Structure 1
Amino acid sequence: MSLDRRHFLLATPLALAGCGGILAKQPYVARSDWPLAPPPPVGAGVGGRGVVQVQGIAAGPTLSQRGLITLLADGSIHQGYYNRWATAPAQATTAALIAWLEASGAFAAVVGEGSSLTPDLIVEGTLDTLLADPAAQVARAALTLVVAKPVGIGERPLAQRRLRATAPLAGVTAPDLVAAQRAALAGVLGQAVALVRGLGAAGGADSH
């Protein structure tokens, strides 16, 4: 074996050990998946009438991914890589809206798409906004909701509203961002329940 080759073989473990020391200094950061759905209020009444079908809530332009969204000072959007929602926000909002409408006790049944029950009201919409705004120290949520009544093979729109809510933002850590956005979404869900409940109580009358 040549002297140069033996020198290379001896030096290689030392070089790799040095690289390992550098890599060891970089801490591993794991991704965190945060549940989004805020729990509905307790103590709601029971014995409602009618069937409500909630169709899948669509995702707005910035909400197709699961990363937590923060509005930066320059007006741009930062989407987190290490902190994400456990479920896509629009999908979580659909499930939460069903749970909140059920908990309201205002209806005999609340179902999702594909149910065999004939609905008295159909609810659909788009989750437009769900983000933290540290500069304003708030989280923001916005949901465009459409409520319609089945008529024959079609639907008759009863109401379309853009529901908005904010919640205080205590800090910029991931738990702060999550808690504030959950609270903002809860505010929007409360408005959605009130809208659908009012239309149901009116027997599907027009509301504008």
Structure 2
Amino acid sequence: MNGPTRRPLLMRRPVLAALLALPGCSALQSRPYVEPLRFRLDPVRPGPPLRGFGGQTVLVRLARAAPGTEGRMLRSINPDGTVHVEYYAEWVAPPAEAMDEALRRWLVASGLFAAVLAPGTRASSDLVLETELTALHADLGQGLARASLSAVLLREGALDRRAVRQFTVSGTAPLPPERPLRPEPQAQAMVAALAGAFMQLEQQILIALR
């Protein structure tokens, strides 16, 4: 009873081996690895630091990522509203994490604070800044890169913590007209858009500190 049922299985093995040896099947195994393009999300503050400030310290907490901004791959919005993800182009670090580091450097360069502290420090701070990255993409229909974030500035008290001001800021930067648009100009425009959002945030913090 068992002999006739085993023979077809044994006969199938050479057939399967022959199929795997076909060019169409081996192409998947021999496809070369494509190294993804990687970009730094590091807007740099232009100009000299502000004067007349720098008397207080601020702790910048780790930034949160809103839904849609968690991934490292570059995102764009097509004219029909669909989302496109560049599988072979990505940020060096997750966008919220990169924004967090860039914002600290920006605030240091602004001169608004005596010190800009990171989580884990043993130093006490006068203020706390909490942020969330809410948008970072290239809007191909509008021809603009967009970056948005929300923030809350808190004052540290002896017994409690009080909200000083809440901010919602955004920045845009033009995209080149070529379509399809390569990842390099998209990333460059998104960095510029985030710089615009940082500049707005700096101005709002300046008003809150006065």
Q: Is the 8 A contact 1:55 1:124 kept in 2?
A: yes
Change over 3 Å in CA distance of 1:18–1:62 after alignment to 2: closer
Query: Normalization by structure 2: what TM-score?
Result: 0.81
- Which whole-Å CA distance do the structure 2 matches of 1:59 and 1:23 have between them? 35
Matched position secondary structure for 1:144: strand
User: Do residues 181 (structure 1) and 183 (structure 2) align?
Assistant: no
Q: Residue in 2 aligned with 1:194?
A: 203
User: Which of 30, 35, 39 pairs up with 2:40?
Assistant: 35
- One-letter amino acid of the counterpart of residue 117, structure 1: A
Which ranges of 4 or more aligned residues in structure 1 deviate by more than 4 Å?
15-28
User: Which of 113, 125, 130 pairs up with 1:107?
Assistant: 113
- Which whole-Å CA distance do the structure 1 matches of 2:24 and 2:145 have between them? 43
Query: Normalization by structure 1: what TM-score?
Result: 0.82
Deviations 1:13-45 (Å, cap 9, x if unpaired)?
xx9484599569966532122111112224224
Q: Is the 8 A contact 1:51 1:117 kept in 2?
A: no
Q: Is the 8 A contact 2:86 2:183 kept in 1?
A: no
Matched position secondary structure for 2:34: coil
Matched position secondary structure for 2:154: strand
Identity %: 32
- Which whole-Å CA distance do the structure 2 matches of 1:158 and 1:48 have between them? 17
Change over 3 Å in CA distance of 1:21–1:56 after alignment to 2: closer
User: Do residues 57 (structure 1) and 70 (structure 2) align?
Assistant: no
Any residues of structure 2 matched to 1:82-93 within 5 Å, and which?
Answer: 82-93=88-99
Q: Is the 8 A contact 1:129 1:141 kept in 2?
A: yes
- One-letter amino acid of the counterpart of residue 109, structure 1: A
Any residues of structure 2 matched to 1:72-83 within 5 Å, and which?
Answer: 72-83=78-89
| Deviation, structure 1 residue 152 | 2.6
The unaligned stretches of length 5 or more in structure 2 are: 1-13
Change over 3 Å in CA distance of 1:82–1:198 after alignment to 2: same
Task: Report how many residues are paired.
Answer: 193
Deviations 1:64-115 (Å, cap 9, x if unpaired)?
1111111122212222211110011001111111101100112110111122
- Which whole-Å CA distance do the structure 2 matches of 1:116 and 1:195 have between them? 28
The unaligned stretches of length 5 or more in structure 1 are: 1-7, 203-208
